[in-house]
Amino acid sequence: MDTKKLDKKWWKKEVGYQIYPRSFYDSNNDGIGDLNGITEKLDYLKNLGITLIWVCPIFKSPMDDNGYDISDYYDVNPEFGTKEDLERLISEAEKRGIKIILDLVINHTSDEHEWFLEALKNPESKYRNYYIFKRGKNGLPPTNWRSHFGGSVWEKVEGEVDENGNEMYYLHLFTKKQPDLNWENPEVRQELYKIVNYWLEKGIAGFRVDAINSIKKDKDYLDLPVDGADGLAHNIKYTLNQPGIEGFLTELAEKTFKKYNCMTVAETPLLEYERYSDFIGEGGFFSMIFDFSYSDLDMAKEGFYYSVQDVKVRELRNKIFESQLTQQKYGWGAPFLENHDLPRSLNKFFGEKANETNAKLLGNVFFFLRGTPFIYQGQEIGMDNFVRNDISEFDDIASKDQYQRALGEGFSPKEALYFVNKRSRDNSRTPMQWDEGKNAGFSEDENIKSWIKLTGRHTVTNVKNQLNDEDSIFAHYKNMIELRQNGKYSDCLIYGEFIPVLLKNDKIIAYIRKYENQNILCINNFSDKKQQVELSEIAKSISEKEIKLADILINNYKNIENDSEVLALEGYQSLLVEFQIL
Ligand code: NOJ
């Protein structure tokens, strides 16, 4: 890698932190997290060392999908505060050297958005063409596609039957309260660009771009082979990453993002690697994208949430490496372990017995990958999943559907509950655990009931316990961030080449970051047994004969055991270590 040619765009240096505002901190004692709550915790985040916050949607919304259903893009949802609160958050963050990016949800709006209300009320209005309305056929909806959150993607419009008895429907890939926008209509696109530019003008640093690879639909609207007991079919063949989407994305980037020195991180599940060049290459549509190839390994079949499976280390490693090498080839990545749609990583990769050492190991594996890392709230203290005993205890709309679907497929209520507990989005949406108090310090008044149940483990896992403990998971994250951001290893850890190593050992995930004369090894033992590693094996991967371990930068144990030839890793030991070539 020719480091002289490296392109050091500002967003490569950032460390992202994702906030789910409803669950971060409740500053006004109503049981719901809010913008002022984030502002109050900025010093905590500054202390952790992160430099950029992705705030999940805070715009006006009936909250059917917790804000991913926007009814007014120009205003803040009162439960989160006011526009002034948002402006204050942006400026207070800036004072601390922290940038804010917002969530851009422009594949769909809420059904309570004024465009949609108008479209429904008046079939002749121009707003009809803002959405995707289609006539059913033979008494059935236009296609047999299943929505991501269950049931048909088509919702019937009451009272619009034609002379042949066929009903009118509108398309929603997510809930029926999230009608899809018609991106084929240039006027819609112009309205959306206005929204994007409005917020960029307000001084935000950019956007996380929601479901953006769903904006183009195949125009033939054909049925797909039925794949479930509900008689429907997974829709993505005709709705995700469709040919021609590039046209929309080029225009979006040109009319908005490229006019600003902003950053964008796009949610693009299942985007084929051959297409990365357009998306994240030089002059690509986005600065970086989230690749879900390794975070979804606990699902045996794409789109089938009840197909829960254990994750094999080898598979995890192969997916991470493939993703890294692709992103390195074409552009820049955004490594992450968790987000608001996924269960906690600790349980996903280490089951119910996951411990602190495991949490530090996972942190080490992901954080030093090449890209702008994103930490999800609570990950830095090792928050884990909960176990609910009844489906009525769940809040997430997707979890409720997945439970019903599992029953429909013939699983017992016990099995269905097991799947939902494992994969529910509620797992990562539980209130942030600030202290051991009655409501985990989520609201200032500890008698306030939070909008969603706590995990119940806040007496053990909380910020207060960890802040001043130099062996804590929090301290581990803080060290990792400090190493990447400040000091003599920064260039290597940020821009350095990513080189996979030790592919023959299926218990280990290890890679090298290489920059000019610096070489750093990130090595992680995923088994509970000791693992011996020949240093010459590592040397071979970079076509060298001999290497010697030098500075130990991160270690989740007190010691390391090595001689000049062999490195012996304890069970779950994880290291970041500089080495020299002899
Ligand atoms: C992806 C978001 O991350 C998820 O939370 C949401 O439900 C869907 N997109 C729909 O906006």
* pLDDT, tens digit, 9 for 90 and up, residues 378-396: 999 999 999 999 999 999 9
Q: Write the residue with the smallest CA distance to atom 11 of ligand 1.
A: 68
Whether the CB of 79 sits within 6 Å of ligand 1: no
For residue 51, what are its two tokens?
Answer: 């430099």
For residue 539, what are its two tokens?
Answer: 């040397």
176 CA → ligand 1 middle, Å: 14
Mean pLDDT calculated for residue range 2-9: 68
Under the banding of pLDDT at 50, 70 and 90, the label for residue 267 is very high
pLDDT tens digit sequence for 205-241: 999 999 999 999 999 999 999 999 999 999 999 999 9
57 CA → ligand 1 middle, Å: 10
Of 529, 525, 530, nearest to 507 by C-alpha is 525
pLDDT tens digit sequence for 443-487: 999 999 999 999 999 999 999 999 999 999 999 999 999 999 999
For a mutational test of ligand 1's pocket, the pick from 61, 69, 104, 105, i.e. the residue with the most ligand atoms closer than 8 A to its C-beta, is 105
Whether the CB of 105 sits within 6 Å of ligand 1: yes
For residue 503, what are its two tokens?
Answer: 């592919």
For residue 105, what are its two tokens?
Answer: 């949800």
360 CA → ligand 1 middle, Å: 28
Under the banding of pLDDT at 50, 70 and 90, the label for residue 305 is confident
pLDDT at 5 over 90: no
Q: Are 381 and 466 in contact (CB under 8 A)?
A: yes
Q: Are 244 and 138 in contact (CB under 8 A)?
A: no
Instruction: Enumerate helices (H) and strands (E) in the chain, giving the number of each.
Output: 16, 24
How many Cβ atoms from other residues are within 10 Å of residue 280's Cβ?
A: 27
For residue 130, what are its two tokens?
Answer: 């803002």
The pLDDT > 90 percentage for the chain reads 95
Q: Write the residue with the smallest CA distance to atom 10 of ligand 1.
A: 68
Whether the CB of 69 sits within 6 Å of ligand 1: no
Whether the CB of 330 sits within 6 Å of ligand 1: no
- DSSP for 259-318 reads GTT-EEEEE-TT--GGGHHHHHSTT-SSSEEE--TTTTTTEEETTEEEEE-PPPHHHHHH
Q: Provide the annotated active-site residues.
A: 210, 267
For a mutational test of ligand 1's pocket, the pick from 209, 341, 376, i.e. the residue with the most ligand atoms closer than 8 A to its C-beta, is 341
The per-residue pLDDT for 176 is 98
301 CA → ligand 1 middle, Å: 19
Which residues have a Cβ under 8 Å from the Cβ of 576 and sit 6 or more positions away? Answer: 364, 368, 480, 483, 520, 521, 522, 552, 553, 554, 555
For residue 449, what are its two tokens?
Answer: 């009931």
pLDDT tens digit sequence for 142-198: 999 999 999 999 999 999 999 999 999 999 999 999 999 999 999 999 999 999 999
pLDDT at 3 over 60: no
Q: What is the DSSP letter of 71?
A: S
Under the banding of pLDDT at 50, 70 and 90, the label for residue 8 is confident
Largest CA distance in the chain: 85
Residue 162 phi, psi (nearest 5): -90, -175
pLDDT at 414 over 70: yes
Give the position, in ligand 1's atom list, of the atom nearest the Cα of 425.
5
177: left (phi over 0), alpha (psi -120 to 50) or beta: alpha
Please report where in the chains the tokens 């033979």 appear, as a residue.
Answer: 138
Residue 539 phi, psi (nearest 5): -60, -40
Angle CA 564–570–571, to nearest 5: 150
Which amino acid type is present at position 167? E
Beta strands per DSSP E along 409-542:
497-501, 508-515, 518-525, 531-534
pLDDT at 4 over 60: no
> In order of start, what are the domains of the chain with their CATH numbers?
13-109+186-474 (3.20.20.80), 114-171 (3.90.400.10), 497-581 (2.60.40.1180)
**How far, CA to CA in Å, does 106 sit from each of 35, 151, 189, 262, 431?**
22, 22, 9, 18, 27
For residue 513, what are its two tokens?
Answer: 């970051």
- DSSP for 395-434 reads --HHHHHHHHHHHHTT--HHHHHHHHHHH-GGGGTSPP--
3-state secondary structure (DSSP) of residue 467: helix
Higher pLDDT, 100 or 303: 100
**Average confidence score pLDDT of the chain:** 96
Of 236, 193, 211, 362, nearest to 289 by C-alpha is 211
Burial class (CB in 10 A: 0-12, 13-18, 19+), 518: middle
Mean pLDDT calculated for residue range 488-500: 97
Of 163, 259, 267, nearest to 213 by C-alpha is 267
The per-residue pLDDT for 132 is 98
pLDDT at 1 over 80: no
The per-residue pLDDT for 136 is 97
pLDDT at 2 over 80: no
Strand order in the sheet with 154-157: 133-135, 168-171, 154-157
Q: Are 191 and 255 in contact (CB under 8 A)?
A: no
For residue 388, what are its two tokens?
Answer: 């609910």
Mean pLDDT calculated for residue range 297-306: 87
Mean pLDDT calculated for residue range 565-579: 97
Q: How far apart are CA 16 and CA 481, in angstroms?
A: 10
Mean pLDDT calculated for residue range 555-563: 92
Q: Are 473 and 381 in contact (CB under 8 A)?
A: yes
122 CA → ligand 1 middle, Å: 29
